[in-house]
Structure 1
Amino acid sequence: MSIYIENIIADIKRGNKNAFKKLFDDYYPILCVFAAHYIKDKEICKDIVQDALLAYWEHREEFDDILKVKNFLYTVTRNKCLNHLKHEQIDISHLAAQEDSEEGFEAAIIEQETFRMVRKAVEELPTQMRNIILLSMKGLKNHEIADKLQIAEGTVHTLKKIAYRKLRESLKGINYILFLFLCK
């Protein structure tokens, strides 16, 4: 696990609000997507995720490593979503089938963690490459990206190749990280 991440957790434990903001900024969008698996209203998802992150802040002294923090955040988010659905008297039997076991819950967490790591790697690309990759992820072809960014199609092709190489390099340890996450 990265020393950087462990330092953030230690800093948060000591009450460092800037470190918490970094973690908040990293996990807020991913937890919102995770909450949307349960609740379709995006505003309610945002409120639930803010509550989950606030709950972590309030209990920060109890956490020494990122794996426990992640488990806490996902579990609290899921439970708050389920409580909201129960309170609204929404039938959640379809969710019970989806989460027949903890495997369904873990699969959803793995999916979100993978998405978070890929998103972070894309954000770290130089601006032009990042824009090309994001447009490519939206399904645009090279010539459409070139038109949109007002650059040559050959430039799009070259920058995309370089970007994919950089992404492969930065994500090469993702299997190992996910393995560690599963072995928590």
Structure 2
Amino acid sequence: MPGNETTHPLLQRFHEGDPAALGELSDRFSPALMGFAGRLLHEPFLAGDIVQDVYIKLWQRKGEYDSIEGIRKFLFVATRNACINQNEKYRLRQGQPPSSEDADPDEAMRKLILSEYLGLIYQIVAAMPDKLQQVFYLSFEEGLSPEDIAQQLDIPRQTIKNRKVEVYKALREGLKHYKVAMPILLKMLFPH
């Protein structure tokens, strides 16, 4: 964000306890957080509860942030941690042993890095036009092929391909400052 974020009007209103400021933050970050949580959880239907709890924690700590970026980081880290905790509870309910991620630091680091990038990706997608978001979610979340998406949306297959190219470009642009192997990440996100 241009300028000094510590004087950002939204941040100032949030610090002062304005509930509308929390609503604006929610409007800005919730779509990305919901997608992010849904991808991390064994029980994706709990994403809304997780995100709501994270906003409650954010509100309780409203004076601790010096930038909108600091709030964004808190939201994604807190969401990731809450999803990890929820997944552990799920494993225990299923009679499975606790996660062995702690025993394999390389696997734990890989998952941590992937979750960080997923958070960034969902934030980039949330800023895209609805028609691109729709293609992203149907392809990435639902795993549909371009043909299936075209049939479901009743639009030409080539339109879907063109929109996927636009999604790729937006993701590349949004992630260009991060050191990541984009072709590998995009192939993982869009197998079709």
3-state SS, counterpart of residue 158 of structure 1: helix
- Partners of 1:12 and 1:19 within 8 A in 2: yes
Query: CA–CA distance in 2 between the matches of 1:76 and 1:139?
Result: 26
Tell me the residue number matched to 2:147.
Answer: 143
Show CA shifts across 1:74-99 (max 9, x none). Answer: 587379759x95xx99989623x323
Query: CA–CA distance in 2 between the matches of 1:154 and 1:34?
Result: 28
Q: TM-score, normalised by structure 1?
A: 0.60
- Partners of 2:40 and 2:83 within 8 A in 1: yes
Tell me, yes or no, if structure 1 residue 111 matches structure 2 residue 114. yes
Query: CA–CA distance in 1 between the matches of 2:39 and 2:44?
Result: 12
Give the counterpart of 1:53 among 32, 55, 67.
55
Tell me the residue number matched to 2:183.
Answer: none
Distance change in 2, residues 1:17/1:144 (3 Å): same
Distance change in 2, residues 1:49/1:157 (3 Å): closer
Distance change in 2, residues 1:10/1:159 (3 Å): same
Tell me the residue number matched to 1:181.
Answer: none
Tell me the residue number matched to 1:167.
Answer: 171
Percent of paired sites with the same residue? 21
What stretches of structure 1 of length at least 5 have no aligned partner? 177-184
Give the counterpart of 1:98 among 98, 101, 108.
101
- Partners of 1:52 and 1:76 within 8 A in 2: no
Query: CA–CA distance in 2 between the matches of 1:76 and 1:119?
Result: 17
- Partners of 1:145 and 1:156 within 8 A in 2: yes
Tell me the residue number matched to 1:153.
Answer: 157
Letter in 2 for 1:140: L
Letter in 1 for 2:119: R
- Partners of 1:132 and 1:156 within 8 A in 2: yes
Letter in 2 for 1:132: V
Tell me the residue number matched to 1:127.
Answer: 130
- Partners of 1:35 and 1:77 within 8 A in 2: no
- Partners of 1:136 and 1:145 within 8 A in 2: yes
- In the TM superposition, what is the alpha-carbon distance from 1:57 to its structure 2 partner? 0.9
What stretches of structure 2 of length at least 5 have no aligned partner? 181-192
Correspondences of 1:13-92 after superposition (within 5 Å): 13-25=15-27, 26-27=29-30, 28-29=33-34, 32-33=37-38, 36=41, 40=43, 42-43=45-46, 46-47=48-49, 49-65=51-67, 66=70, 69-70=74-75, 73-74=78-79, 77=82, 81=86, 85=89
- Partners of 1:121 and 1:167 within 8 A in 2: yes
Distance change in 2, residues 1:155/1:29 (3 Å): closer
Distance change in 2, residues 1:167/1:20 (3 Å): same
Aligned length: 168
- Partners of 1:56 and 1:72 within 8 A in 2: no
Query: CA–CA distance in 1 between the matches of 2:40 and 2:148?
Result: 33
